[in-house]
Amino acid sequence: MKNAIRISCTRRNLKVVRDFVSGFLGSYQLSELHTNQIVLAVDEVVANLIIHGNQEDESQFLDVRVSMRNQEFGIEIEDESPTSYSPSSYKEPDLQEFVRIGKKGGVGMMLVNRIMDRVEFTTVGAHNVCRLYKKLG
């Protein structure tokens, strides 16, 4: 199975990524719950990079690679974002405060951090790499 794809930065490609990750995970006999959780985490990160990191600019691209090593699923998502979007500076939100003020949104990365075992963001110049890892064994 192919373990890498390149997509343009449009929301229409979120389904392409979800199908790609689901297809890859399908050969590893995971529970439906584990598969759906991983797909959700990947979808959230990719959506953030498309929307916030690249302003849905279809001339920009994300490279998505998946792997499985020693019962650990890994995914790398790379882009060349021209913005100052900085997911590595993420801080866990105060959910009680969000509820109090009625804020919607802003909890996706919290969900990603709770689903995945490790989340790493690195940036060098305009080159960004997000790595997500989940132990499956």
Domains and their CATH numbers in the chain:
4-135 (3.30.565.10)
Q: Would you state the pLDDT for residue 123?
A: 85
State the chain's mean pLDDT as an integer.
87
Q: What is the pLDDT of residues 91-131, one digit of tens each?
A: 665 656 655 566 555 557 888 999 999 999 888 888 889 99
- d(C-alpha 46, C-alpha 40), whole Å: 10
- pLDDT grade for 50, boundaries at 50, 70 and 90: very high
133 beta partners: 74, 118
The three-state secondary structure class of 25 is helix
Closest Cα to residue 121, out of 49, 65, 57, 50? 49
- What is the enclosing helix (H) or strand (E) of 67? strand 61-69
pLDDT digits (tens, 9 = 90+) for 68-82: 999 999 999 999 986
Q: Mean pLDDT, to the nearest integer, of 40-61? A: 94
